[in-house]
Amino acid sequence: MTTLKSRLREDLTQAIKARDELRSSTLRLTLTAVAKEEVAGKTARELSDDEVQKVIAREAKKRREAADAFAQGGRAEQAEREKAEGVILDAYLPQQLADEELEQIVTRAVEEAKAAGAEGPRAMGAVMKIVNPQVAGRAEGGRVAATVKRLLAG
């Protein structure tokens, strides 16, 4: 068993013992998503820590999107619960890049892509190929793409 997955299980046990309903339900749903991912495909397999981290990131993103949807729908109580679940899951993810750090990485990648001959908005793919491995797991794709577009535009 991977260390991240075992940490999730240990934290779930502690949350159940502490009768922390929010934390225990969030961790249960996350472990279920991990188990579902393990049996997806033709053969069952054990996920690596990186793969488990991607599942957790996907679950956290679902919580943020659901919180926004509930807030727009006027269901503040549900939105707060989704935000709280997102905060719990964020504790298992690497620290997100600050806007300044992300901008520095993208600026270097834009310069590198331009040196290789990529110009204008069509350079987006080349820049994203350079940036994605550097920011994997530390910045959401939409945020990265928006920064790349802004820097390529001007």
What confidence tens digit (pLDDT) does each residue in 106-140 have?
A: 888 878 877 777 676 677 777 788 888 887 777 77
Looking up tokens 């495909």 gives: 41
Sequence-separated contacts (24+) of 76-85 with Cβ below 8 Å: 81/22, 84/22, 85/22, 85/25, 85/26
- pLDDT tens track for 132-141: 888 777 777 7
> Rounded distance, CA 87 to CA 60, Å?
8
What local confidence, expressed as pLDDT, does residue 83 receive? 92
What local confidence, expressed as pLDDT, does residue 1 receive? 60
What local confidence, expressed as pLDDT, does residue 121 receive? 67
Angle, alpha carbons 139-141-145 (nearest 5°):
110
> Rounded distance, CA 49 to CA 84, Å?
24
Rounded to the nearest 10°, the torsion over CA 109, 133, 102, 49 is -170
**pTM: predicted TM-score of the whole model, two decimal places:** 0.74
What local confidence, expressed as pLDDT, does residue 112 receive? 80
Instruction: Write out residues in the chain with pLDDT < 70, as ranges.
Output: 1-2, 118, 120-121, 154
What local confidence, expressed as pLDDT, does residue 154 receive? 65
What local confidence, expressed as pLDDT, does residue 2 receive? 65
